[in-house]
Amino acid sequence: MIIRPRRLRASPAMRRLVAETRVHPSQLILPMFVREGLSEPLPISSMPGVVQHCLDSMRRAIAEAAALGVGGVMLFGVPEHRDALGSGATDPEGILNLATRAAVAEAGDALVVQTDLCLDEFTDHGHCGVLDARGRVDNDASLERYRDMGVAQAEAGSQLLGLSGMMDGQVAAVRNALDSAGFTETPLLGYAAKYASAFYGPFREAVQSTLQGDRRTYQLDPANRREGAREVLIDVAEGADVVMVKPAMSYLDVLADASASSPVPVWAYQVSGEYAMIEAAAANGWIDRERAVLESVTSIVRAGADAVLTYYASELARSIRSTV
Give the catalytic positions in this structure.
Answer: 194, 246
Residues in contact with 85: Cβ distance below 8 Å, sequence separation at least 6, in sequence order = 123, 130, 145
CB atoms within 10 A of CB 241: 17
Strand partners of residue 31? 74
Are residues 305 and 280 in contact, defined by beta-carbon separation less than 8 angstroms? no
CA distance 190 to 193: 9
Q: What DSSP letter does each residue of 148-216 carry, written as one string?
A: HHHHHHHHHT-SEEEE-S--TTHHHHHHHHHHHTT-TT--EEEEEEEB--GGGHHHHHHTT----S--T
CA distance 273 to 202: 6
Sign of torsion over alpha carbons 254, 256, 257, 261: positive
Are residues 122 and 88 in contact, defined by beta-carbon separation less than 8 angstroms? yes
Sign of torsion over alpha carbons 49, 124, 113, 256: positive
Residues in contact with 241: Cβ distance below 8 Å, sequence separation at least 6, in sequence order = 160, 187, 188, 189, 264, 265
End-to-end CA distance of the chain: 35
